[in-house]
Chain A
Amino acid sequence: MPASPLVEFCDVTKRFGDGPIVLDRVSLAAQEGDFVSLIGPSGCGKSTVLRLLAGLSPLTAGTIAIDGMAPDAAAAELAFVCLEPTLLPWLTVAHNVEVPQKLRGVPAVERSATRRHVLELVRLAEKADAYPRQLSGGQKMRVSIARALALAPKILLLDEPFGALDEMTREHLNEELLAIREKEAWTAFFVTHSVAEAVFLSNRVFVLSSHPGRIQREIAVPLPYPRTEETRLSPAYHELVANVSRVLRSVETAAA
């Protein structure tokens, strides 16, 4: 393990204006290559953790270091995927995927090479000329992931990316996401409501409690990668899901 973590939260506190405290002295550290899931009841501030990481919102107190930098300075190392695919409806899939690079002034030749590569990764190369409304929900989300990967980020922030999809599609995309990660090494912060999803994807699961948001427990998931369909059938996986569920339930009852 490298000595210095890639991402480090030190006593991070966040409140919006004079509102209640959303995050209360959150401290966590993620190493390069970690797949970190954040899970907790609604209102526990897990999405806020990602927004702070992305520099979309200022901290109230504490510090965040990404590769030793503040979030604003580290923006180039991050990519964000959220619940909505947020594609530009007037652009084709190909042009959507190229948007982030276009905004950074990357030349067209390089952009199209990247675009081909990332659309291969999400297995949507044949949809390059389609418009978003011609795609299914799962396909849109894959385009959204491809667009995020186009920047070759060191850290991928995913805010319930599969929350609006049906169970089958979600499981497929979970497997695909891990398959992509085998080829492209990035560190992931993944927010979800689904215990099964968190366990399947992550090597570390953080359970948060709400009002104010605090980290209640970190649970390690020592299942070996690559994980596949088979992983979901293993007793170790089921035991971990049950364990995380138990912790999550205790957090929710404590809040109620």
Chain B
Amino acid sequence: MNPMSRPFLKLLLPAATGALVLALWYAIHFFLSEDRRFLLPPPDAVLAALRDNAPFLARAALNTSQGALIGFGLAVVVSFALSLLLSLSPLVRASLYPYLMALQLTPLPILAPICVIWAGAGLASVSLLTFAIAFFPLVVNTTQGLISTDRNLVELFRLYGAGQWQQLFILRVPAALPYFFTGLRIAATLAPIGAVVADMNAGSSAGDGGGLGFQAIIYSSQARYPALFATAAVTCVLGFVFNAVVLAVAWLALHHWHDSYERTDK
């Protein structure tokens, strides 16, 4: 293949896929009998709904982002501290892991009402639930990273008389970064979804505090389907933004040295 054509293809092919999806979307819409076309509103109707509902959707997106960010941030901080604890010994892991699993295995819609009893409906509950769903992959990955340090390097540090803290922060934590970022990427996918589902189950519209989940419930109950599709689109964009930011941070932290990134210098 002509190497010059690669960057071009990298733009062209996704665009072509997009065009194909749009065409298919329209085709299905017009293929449906007229009384059933509401099932799949055409892209232009979704765009129009997006425009008409922009103020509501923007406010909802802002509220959801807030809950997602707080929950996500909380998950990063708590999971880091917990991972340090878990990395201490297999005994600590054996005593704590089952209970962390239990938290992860409880479905969010069941956790939500419990959370509401404790923290009330609204931002606090949404943040807490987002935290609950985002923190497990972070804990598992970061802990795995902390305990997977190259044995030769650990020995080298011992030989140089490194203290426990030096070993932790000069060796183990940096070595665990690629694992941490793997967890972070999963968490970044889960956090916006978690925030939306939490909003549906534990959100509150009081004081314009409703998020995208709430907005989706409203549109669906009013049978405003193009607006419902528009809400879905906004949720997707939110997820993309979360992932893009995390990918960018991971790139900044790792691309110089980690083998998962191509070498750009040679």
Q: Do A and B bind each other?
A: yes
Residues on A lying within 8 angstroms of B by beta carbon are 54-56, 75-76, 78, 80, 82, 84, 86, 88-91, 99-100, 102-104, 131-134, 151
In the assembled complex, the Cα of A142 lies from the Cα of B258 at a distance in Å of 21
Interface core residue of A78, A82, A89, A102 (most chain B CB under 10 Å): A89
Residues on B lying within 8 angstroms of A by beta carbon are 150, 152-153, 155-162, 166, 170-171, 174-175, 177, 256-259, 263, 265-266
Q: Is B265 within 8 A of A134, CB to CB? A: yes
Note all chain B residues with C-beta closer than 8 A to A131.
Answer: 256-257
In the assembled complex, the Cα of A82 lies from the Cα of B263 at a distance in Å of 27
Please name 22 pairs of A and B residues whose Cβ atoms are closer than 8 Å in the assembled complex, sorted by A: A54-B159, A56-B159, A75-B159, A75-B161, A82-B152, A84-B152, A86-B150, A86-B153, A88-B174, A88-B175, A90-B256, A102-B170, A103-B157, A103-B161, A103-B162, A103-B166, A104-B161, A131-B256, A132-B257, A133-B257, A134-B265, A151-B160
Note all chain B residues with C-beta closer than 8 A to A80.
Answer: 156, 159
Q: Is B257 within 8 A of A103, CB to CB? A: no
Question: Among A54, A88, A134, which residue has its beta carbon within 8 angstroms of that of B171?
Answer: A88
Note all chain B residues with C-beta closer than 8 A to A54.
Answer: 159
Note all chain A residues with C-beta closer than 8 A to B158.
Answer: 56
Question: Among B155, B166, B177, B256, which residue has its beta carbon within 8 angstroms of that of A56?
Answer: B155
Q: Is B161 within 8 A of A78, CB to CB? A: no
In the assembled complex, the Cα of A103 lies from the Cα of B169 at a distance in Å of 11
A91, chain B: closest CB distance, angstroms: 8
Note all chain A residues with C-beta closer than 8 A to B150.
Answer: 86
The residue in chain B whose Cβ has the minimal distance to the Cβ of A78 is B159
In the assembled complex, the Cα of A76 lies from the Cα of B161 at a distance in Å of 8
A93, chain B: closest CB distance, angstroms: 11
Q: How many A-B residue pairs have CB under 8 A?
A: 52
In the assembled complex, the Cα of A136 lies from the Cα of B83 at a distance in Å of 35
In the assembled complex, the Cα of A89 lies from the Cα of B150 at a distance in Å of 11
In the assembled complex, the Cα of A118 lies from the Cα of B263 at a distance in Å of 27
Note all chain B residues with C-beta closer than 8 A to A132.
Answer: 257
Note all chain B residues with C-beta closer than 8 A to A56.
Answer: 155, 158-159
A53, chain B: closest CB distance, angstroms: 11
Question: Among A89, A104, A133, which residue has its beta carbon within 8 angstroms of that of B263?
Answer: A133
Note all chain A residues with C-beta closer than 8 A to B171.
Answer: 88
In the assembled complex, the Cα of A91 lies from the Cα of B152 at a distance in Å of 16
Contact (A90, B159) CB under 8 Å given A82-B152, A84-B152, A131-B257: no
A193, chain B: closest CB distance, angstroms: 19
Q: Is A99 within 8 A of B160, CB to CB? A: yes
In the assembled complex, the Cα of A200 lies from the Cα of B126 at a distance in Å of 71
Q: Is A100 within 8 A of B257, CB to CB? A: no
The residue in chain A whose Cβ has the minimal distance to the Cβ of B174 is A90
Note all chain B residues with C-beta closer than 8 A to A104.
Answer: 160-161
The residue in chain B whose Cβ has the minimal distance to the Cβ of A86 is B152
In the assembled complex, the Cα of A208 lies from the Cα of B259 at a distance in Å of 40
In the assembled complex, the Cα of A50 lies from the Cα of B158 at a distance in Å of 15
The residue in chain B whose Cβ has the minimal distance to the Cβ of A105 is B166
In the assembled complex, the Cα of A78 lies from the Cα of B150 at a distance in Å of 21
Note all chain A residues with C-beta closer than 8 A to B263.
Answer: 133-134
In the assembled complex, the Cα of A89 lies from the Cα of B166 at a distance in Å of 17
Note all chain A residues with C-beta closer than 8 A to B160.
Answer: 99-100, 103-104, 151
Closest 7 CB pairs of A and B: A90-B257, A103-B162, A86-B152, A100-B160, A131-B257, A89-B257, A103-B160
Interface core residue of A80, A82, A84, A88 (most chain B CB under 10 Å): A88
In the assembled complex, the Cα of A84 lies from the Cα of B152 at a distance in Å of 8
Note all chain B residues with C-beta closer than 8 A to A86.
Answer: 150, 152-153, 156
